Structure 1
Amino acid sequence: MKKVLLLILLVMIFVLSACGQKDNANEKDGSNDELVKLKVASLIPPMTEILDVVKPLLKEDGIDLEVVVLSDNIQPNNALAAKEVDANFFQHVPYMEQYNEENGANLVPVQAVYHAIYGVYSKEYKSMDEVPDGATVAIANDPSNIGRSLAILDHQGIIKLKEGVGINATQADIIENEKNLKFEEVDLLMLARMYDDADLVIMTPAYAAPLGLTPKSDALLTEGLESKFAITLVAREDNKDSEAIQKLAERISGPEVKQFLEENYDETAIPAF
């Protein structure tokens, strides 16, 4: 009987020791149960690709990044405001500010990531001199991008806007339009489709790239580097200082992302950090 009891005791010691070693191994490896969940809404490349670059880096920091890819440029802000996601990455600050004003939201910029240079593109014409009177110009229909589009043409002397309106301009602020350009305002995600129909389309590289176009090589006109229009990581006022959001901000403006942009988007997405 003593031998049996001793054998049982030894087996129990062995089992407990094995369990302890397994627990220690999990602590060292960092199981998924221990990772902090972080959901970020986005739209299209290179935004989604940048998040894919930082995902394994964040895992080293104890953060499990889930990228939520949505289908239009309204949903990411709605989801963030409703706390369905923790952050989003698809917009510039003026667009975010417009959303806050219209919806009573408290979204805030966390980290500027890259400049997406706006350009004026044409399938038919090679220079603005070739563009005929009465040509149709497709521009995004949200206020911040209407103003941005008109500001490019104003800066290049194609139209003239009222003094001081800047990026807040609307068509009503055009005081000179020698070419009698006709502006067609469409949803941001429809701009690439307008390339076949409109004489000119003003859009970011994200929408020009699928057409094989870049600002440097193909745009008739481009804007300068304006930090206010940098594509920016956005969170809410209540969570912007959280450890997970701040770690994401650090990683999304780190050397790995800079190298990725320089190697893959050197003409279309210029690091803003």
Structure 2
Amino acid sequence: MKKIVFLIMVFCFAAAGCSQAEDRTEEPKQNEKEVTLKVASLIPPMTEILDLVKPKLAEEGIKLETVVLGDNVQPNTALAAKEVDANFFQHAPYMEQFNQSNNAELVSVKPIYFANYGVYSKTYKSIEEMPEGATIAIANDVSNIDRSLSLLAQHKIIALKEKKDIYYTIADIKDNPKNLQFKEVDLLMLARTYDDADAVIMTPAYAAPLGLTPKSDALLTEGVENDFAISLVARKDNADSEAIRKLAEAMTSPEVRKFLEEKYDETAIPAFK
């Protein structure tokens, strides 16, 4: 009888031990909390890349929410105000301009792709065909004025003075053989000037709705030897967080590279190895 009681007690303790072990095994799952990352963006392929990495991040316990905004100012103001956790729409010089103007501390986390800047004309087949005094439309923010002038100088269409400040300005043009005139317009309005200006300098994202690509239609292109890669941007206070790090890893994965190379060819050139 004592032996039977002893066996029953052993069984009960064993069962209780298993139950506690099972509870300990399940406990982390019950306590795990999903992290939500809000990322502000504008247009494809930026938004498409964010959509592409959502399933991978979900496996890591990160819920990615893409916040699509209507202009190229809101993503930075929202990030600085901590309304979003990161943004994906700009290159580092544009971000630095925002920091200087707004006493902000935005940080470039990872360059993702080069949006191949190009010169497009509805009327002329080459820069050489353009007449003296022709008008070229360029974006009106200081970083993209710098970028546009640098592109023209790269191809020796104009010559620039030695750079003494962070950005080139129109005043830094020292040689302009064709006496080109520059019309500065809002970045989001560039495509609308295509019908009126003699030429427009813009990224593939704004050329694409017009049916234009750098490879087929641009008179001049920029290439990848520059600091203008479209980058994942966060704040100084969260740029080193695990969630942002995992987002950066997902956005520079072989899957993203394959997506860019297959769908966007040289209009969005991967900036990561």
TM value normalised by structure 2: 0.87
For 2:224, the aligned partner's letter is L
1:167-214 CA-partner distances (Å, limit 9, x unpaired): 711111111111111100001011111111110000011111111111
Deviates more, 1:168-177 or 1:60-69: 168-177
Deviates more, 1:185-194 or 1:220-229: 220-229
* Aligned pairs for 1:185-196 within 5 A: 185-196=184-195
- SS at 1:139's partner residue? strand
For 2:150, the aligned partner's letter is A
- Give 5+ residue unaligned stretches, structure 2: 1-18
Asked if structure 2 preserves the Cα contact closer than 8 Å seen for 1:148 and 1:167, the reply is: no
Q: Does 1:61 align with 2:60?
A: yes
CA apart distance, 1:89: 0.3
Asked if structure 2 preserves the Cα contact closer than 8 Å seen for 1:147 and 1:166, the reply is: no
Counterpart of 2:132?
A: 133
Q: Percent identity?
A: 70
Counterpart of 2:80?
A: 81
Distance 1:172 1:165 in 2: 12
Distance 1:130 1:227, change over 3 A: closer
For 1:230, the aligned partner's letter is A
Distance 2:114 2:98 in 1: 20
For 1:220, the aligned partner's letter is L
Counterpart of 1:93?
A: 92
Distance 1:107 1:150, change over 3 A: same
TM value normalised by structure 1: 0.87
- Give 5+ residue unaligned stretches, structure 1: 1-16
- Point out 4+ residue stretches in structure 1 off by more than 2 angstroms: 163-167
Counterpart of 1:211?
A: 210
For 2:154, the aligned partner's letter is H
Deviates more, 1:161-170 or 1:178-187: 161-170
User: How many residues were matched structurally?
Assistant: 251
For 2:219, the aligned partner's letter is L
Distance 1:196 1:34 in 2: 52
CA apart distance, 1:166: 8.8
Distance 1:50 1:120 in 2: 26
Counterpart of 2:42?
A: 43
For 1:190, the aligned partner's letter is M
